[in-house]
Amino acid sequence: MKTIILAGGLGRRLSEETALRPKPMLTIGEHPILWHILNIYAHHGFTEFLIALGYRADLIKDYFLDFYAHSADITVRLATGERSVHATSPPNWTVHLIDTGLKTETGGRLRRLKAWLESDQTFMVSYGDGVANVDVRALVAFHRSHGKLATVTAVRPPARFGALRLDKIDKVVGFAEKPQVGEGWINGGFFVLERKVLDLIPNDETVWERGPMETLAARGELMAFRHEGFWHPMDTLREFNLLNELWASGQAPWKTW
């Protein structure tokens, strides 16, 4: 099963970091968040990816074309240009890097990849700027069990601010920097889709989260896989720093590989 990663947006809310590089290339630890996302899928046995490129597509292409320069020791014989890579366990991934346009919306990017999918093929989609400890195999099994056209992973929204507990005279008696809030569900990405959903996307200007998803929901063709575990986007500098702190602590919840 192929997995599409939407990696072409401008990342305006992180303009401090994305002025020169696309958001999927912002690093958590020593690796881009895109590397982390691919590892989440690969851990569950899904290793073929279609990367939908747009803004600074060249940087993502360069990263994969010279992948081992970022992750392994290399010997270069200058006289011949021959290179030897000393990688102990190289990832067994197939990565298709496809330019889907600079200003194309999320739905339009999916539409442009239609030719890369076989007829009646089930495929997965994820955003290139969030991580989770989603059980991807359970997600796919859930999708196959209900027989509908689309599944979205429903997640608890992360708390953007610490939670205060106050007593009767407004004295703070407790504070918690909660990773998730306890109520409500939101779109967490990690979709499983049937190829027929692409027929609902008319052009490059189509936003996947509006018309197509709304139509699927209205027709009863959109199901939700409830994920109670960790999920976190990287939309702001604060969230970028938080994910880096979790990784540095050695306790990153999404590191299941």
Domain spanning 2-152+184-248: CATH superfamily: Spore Coat Polysaccharide Biosynthesis Protein SpsA; Chain A (3.90.550.10)
Q: Taking a C-beta distance cutoff of 8 angstroms, is the pair 197, 216 a contact? A: yes
Give the containing element (helix H, strand E) for 48.
strand 48-53
Global pTM reads: 0.88
Distance of CA 196 to the CA centre of its chain: 22
* 2-7 vs 122-127, strand pairing mode: parallel
pLDDT class for 190, splitting at 50, 70, 90? very high
Q: What share of the chain is helix, strand, coil (3-state, %, to 5)?
A: 30, 30, 40
Which residues touch 55 (CB under 8 Å, ≥6 apart)?
A: 8, 9, 10, 11, 18, 22, 102
pLDDT digits (tens, 9 = 90+) for 46-77: 999 999 999 999 999 999 998 887 777 889 89
How far, in whole angstroms, is CA 84 from its chain's centroid?
A: 31
CB contact set of 53 (below 8 Å; sequence gap of 6+): 7, 8, 60, 61, 97, 98, 99, 100
Per-residue pLDDT tens digits for 133-188: 999 999 999 999 999 999 999 998 876 655 555 667 655 555 555 555 556 788 99
What pLDDT does residue 68 have?
A: 80
Give the span between the Cα atoms of 180 and 183, in whole angstroms: 9
